Structure 1
Amino acid sequence: MPDRAPQPVDRQLPTDEARDLISLVRDIAQREIAPKAAEEEDAGRFPRDVFGLLSESGLLGLPYDSEYGGGDQPYEVYLQVLEELAAARLTVGLGVSVHTLACHALANYGTKEQQVEHLPAMLGGGLLGAYCLSEPSSGSDAASLRTKAVREEGDPSRASGAEGGGDWVITGTKAWITHGGVADFYTVLARSGGQGPRGITAFLVPGDAAGLSAAPPEKKMGMKGSPTAQVHLDGVRVPDDRRLGDEGQGFAIALSALDSGRLGIAACAIGLAQAALDEAVAYATGRQQFGRPISDFQGLRFMLADMATQIEAGRALYLAAARLRDAGRPFSKQAAMAKLLCTDTAMKVTTDAVQVLGGYGYTADFPAERYMREAKVLQIVEGTNQIQRMVIARHLAGPDSR
């Protein structure tokens, strides 16, 4: 059965421009994404054509500066766009979130020259990005990554900063990379110095760089249309003018990106949960048992009410965190809270949606079972929910707590 078109959510948007933007996204979602979602996920097809359409429509660079092809949109608006896309197909919503994450280092820490050279193509030129932090032996403990970046001395005039010159040679393996093997560029975190977080530097690596390759995509429980693969860097040579930020600043850049990325995951989770709720309500109001719709039975009505309440609470939390970010205020704790609550909500709501549909919920004829399978990964990516609890507790107990 084709996925149901996303139902309009009553949004409080700050401007007429934002309302027009959401209308555009809903139109694309209903015409181009939702009708093919079930078939393409079942076949494991990556929707590169959809990402091309989103780029042409100005939707791949929404929170970035229009000087470089971005949309000048606040996070409060950008996240609601992600929610709409994820409600139509999580592979698309999450893909836009990952692309935005991959652009973060250049947009916020790159030099003016780097931004002028690379950002327009990344934000509106049809390119798609990937973010390379995790490794086979370093997931939650990202500061222990082993991928090496060794600089070869060269002409100092080629340097992007005061330190430099020469090329960097990057060797190592990155793991669990969304868009691995299909991305046009990779933001890569590699060890350029000693052990620990201060020895890590960020690089912008072209997708067609010599020595860069991807393993076959992982065989996953859900999101089969979104390729997740190891990325191998075998002596990949990168000029110093593709180093992002200062040497040793990479881990701080990564943490900054993850705070924003966690809000993207939260918004995608609420979009997925909303799609599951819409499916459950439509089924419950149309399914007759004992001479009346099953939505008339109190036990089921209470389930639907709880699902809707949890979704609204998650949406309010991620929007509150986004407004802090937009105001330039600290939001790391709230981002962790939003990621924790929204992804746990997605898991609970999608599981309950399967229950509402009964036996049909367990079949692939309806999308509820796919939503439940997809929800699980959201509790894991960009910091497991156990890590989010550690982040929140650290904010409560003080920076010296462990």
Structure 2
Amino acid sequence: MNGEEARVVIRSQAEAVRQRLQLLVRERGRQAEAQAAALRPWQRNTTTFTGRFRPEAIAALDEAESWLIGNRELPEYEFGGGLYYWLERRGITKSRLVPDTDSGGFKQYETFHLAENPRVNRANIVNEVRTSEFHIVTVRNVPAEVDFVLGMLDDMASWCRKGEVRGDLLTAPDSAPSRHGRLVPGVLARNFSADLGEAIAAGRRLDRELSANASSETLEAWLNATQELLRLLRPESIGSDFSGLSWVFPFHSFFPDHNALRRAYLALAIEYLGKVESHMPDYAEASGQGVPSVSMSITGGNFYGGQFAAQIANINSTIASVQHQGNPDMAQALQGLQQAVSSQPGLIDDQRQDLLDNVQYLAEAAQTPPDRRNRGIVRAALTALTVAAASGEHLQAALDAWGGVLNTLT
């Protein structure tokens, strides 16, 4: 699974959950309408002819208030994890259906001097204070309370009937590490690059395990270990952007395929690491460790310079032209691809040369205006690189990281 495929998986599962939440919100609205229908007959009928509040009216009011308090949050809403969303209607948003209340709930009271209101039914008094100078009583204002609660129920029903579920139920990040990074003092670029390559290889092995429904504990351990590795880079945002890929664990039970999501976020993590790997020459140079000369292990011994050095120099020259034309993402993608082919172990001379030729074709295509581009050659070059990547970790990492950009050439 590459980065673009991973984002499709994440977005499709988020949409499935959004639709399920929308049904729950609509059902909450119907429940609010039912509560309002049960309370509404008492709106102008809360007292008997003697002025005493009807026990049935108070019971219906208390039941409606208790239901409101118990359903103030959106269905399945969880802030800081789980499902975080809101409703939107005509450009206005609501993240809570009922505002917070104190321990008294929605109850409303009136306090007055009994001497000035002698007709108050004593059965309605909930508190009284008597002295030689005054006699103060407190009465629950049931009619006003019924009106208020009905207003809250009608508002909730309206929002749940017309509001649309909004929010990033899952993020599908497409962040890129800063090009202007460096290693912390005391860290050798070659050692860091080796550790980074091993982290990418371990991630790929883990993806194969997850495809067989392995436990997610190994994935979280890999994410944590890789994040610690990235702490050796500055600025710290290089590591913190990576850590954002693991905040979604564990997944809410509403998401239909947790294992597919784990593989998707793993693919995004590997894509991100591939981009970090493509920046390593810049990071090493910024750290004062220089840019290593072209050196690779190939069949038949070590090779330095020669036809590969000339080929790479030609590719880099074309990539520089692409950069100057104002297409830095494409230049970065081509540079990462070139470095992956150059460093991929296990290739014989002819294979490496053919793959570098394909990188050169892509670089020349990127330099050419779209209407004059030979898309047949571009597709053939991408196919050849994709086939080679099936057995090459470095090349596969580069294609996962930059496949979306490279495919814009077709």
TM-score for the superposition, normalised by structure 2: 0.29
Structure 1 or 2, whichever has the larger Rg, is: 2
Higher strand fraction (1 or 2): 1
Higher helix fraction (1 or 2): 2
Instruction: Between the two structures, name the one with larger relative contact order (CA 8 Å, sep ≥ 6).
Output: 2
TM-score for the superposition, normalised by structure 1: 0.29
